[in-house]
Amino acid sequence: MKGQYSKPIPEVQPWSEAFWKASKKHELLIQKCSSCQSLIFYPRKSCPNCWSSELGWQKACGRGKVYTFTVVRDMVEAKFIADLPYVLAMVELDESIRMMTRIVECDPQTVRIGMEVEVVFEDITDHHALPLFRPVEESLRLPAREGDPTGKDSEPALFMSAEEYKTILYETGGPNGAVCRITMNRPEKKNSINRRMALELHDAFRRVREDRNVGIVVLSGAGEGTFCSGGDLDVFPSLAEHQAGLNWLAHEGLDVQKAITDCEKVVIAKIDGHCLAGGLELALCCDLLYAKESARMGLTEINMGVLPGWGGTARIVRSMPVFRAREIIYSGRKDYTAREMFEMGFLTRVFKDEEFEAQFEKVVALLALKKPVALRMGKEIMAKSADGGSIDTALAVERNGIQWLTHAPDVQAMMEQFRKNVKG
Ligand SMILES: [Zn+2]
């Protein structure tokens, strides 16, 4: 037990008292009907099978399998935010009864249906302990973290230090440190992406997630005239080897894409020059795309007999009208002008070359003033809706998100001020 426990505490009823007392002694009890021998969970006054009130207790073996689970990443009551992400699960005990619980002491990513788990207890007060479950398989376990004996990712994810970056630049600034700028920095190679840059971009976009002050990330290319020219041609020979090719697509590539799309910050691509092939695929992962009029764009992979494999072929049809997207994929043109791309429905806006810098910074300055968590929720709600799932699901996410935002004390104050200004 570490400090004051602020989350809800179980309400102990007369018929569940034995269960909670045993829990406190780190024993898992289940009820057993003396008439029909049914095993019962959760604790009740009478048997749900035969209605007998002659119920006794037996000690459970404390082992079972994950029956189903979900990883909770967001949209929780404020007191649970520090626990995110956590795994809410239904565990089926070897006694064939199911318990709602959490899976702890492991990376949420490793939890699987059917995974063998065993009970552990989290002491939350002098009188209460919660039965939770951890993997039986020791290699899946992480050490319990301080302040939460139930095991979480105690150490923050391992990042490189920003000084170690060799192929990108990483800086934060702006009002309250709300703006992070990630710059692809291999101008001599037209900012082409090699394995090192993929790794560093992945690292940088994960790092920025941890920075609460940052609301927006600007992704750009160093030097004149290139955002990013795509994959480094020097990587290509190694791709003939099956495993290396797969790693380039599924690890370096997919990891970078996901780091950007899952980044929870609004990511703005600043396209002030060539944005081709893998570079355009990176842009496709961003939330807003602003381009200089002289920028040239395209997906050129088909000219080598392949296709965009960093999400480009799959993503582009979700990002613009499909009949136009197909032309970009099939033609392999690398000379689409920014205006053409805009007219085809690809870009957010195009600015004249001489105005680009000022206009772009105007957008950055405007968004930098918005509450980061509101930007983040907006991103999530719109992503959920654009996913093509049911509108009801998207609406539920919207409702929960906005309800959650509304409860923040500073938002209450902002709303009040807004109300006064409108009235006044
Ligand atoms: Zn019964």
Give the Å distance between the CA of 38 and the centre of ligand 1: 5
**Per-residue confidence (pLDDT) for residue 78, from 0 to 100:** 66
Give the Å distance between the CA of 34 and the centre of ligand 1: 7
Q: How far apart are the first and last CA of the chain?
A: 51
Which residues, chain by chain, have CB under 5 Å from ion ligand 1?
A: 33, 35-36, 38, 47, 49-50, 52
Give the Å distance between the CA of 101 and the centre of ligand 1: 25
Give the Å distance between the CA of 21 and the centre of ligand 1: 23
pTM of the model: 0.65
- Strand runs labelled E in 260-363: 266-271, 274-276, 288-292, 296-298, 336-337, 349-351
In terms of residues, how long is the chain? Answer: 424
User: pLDDT for 44-68, tens place per residue?
Assistant: 999 999 999 999 999 999 999 999 9
- CA–CA dist 263, 282 (Å, integer): 13
Give the Å distance between the CA of 36 and the centre of ligand 1: 4
Class of domain 162-368 (CATH, top level): alpha beta
**Sequence-distant (≥ 6) Cβ neighbours of residue 206 within 8 angstroms:** 157, 159, 259, 263
Helix, strand or coil, per DSSP, at residue 271: strand
**Per-residue confidence (pLDDT) for residue 140, from 0 to 100:** 87
| β-strands 168-173, 179-184 pairing | antiparallel
Residue 138 CA from chain centroid, whole number = 26
Give the Å distance between the CA of 128 and the centre of ligand 1: 28
Does domain 61-155 bear CATH number 2.160.20?
A: no
**Per-residue confidence (pLDDT) for residue 151, from 0 to 100:** 40
**Per-residue confidence (pLDDT) for residue 127, from 0 to 100:** 86
- CA–CA dist 411, 371 (Å, integer): 9
User: Which residues of the chain have a pLDDT value below 70?
Assistant: 1-3, 78, 143-158
Give the Å distance between the CA of 22 and the centre of ligand 1: 22
Query: Are the CB atoms for 339 and 349 separated by under 8 Å?
Result: no
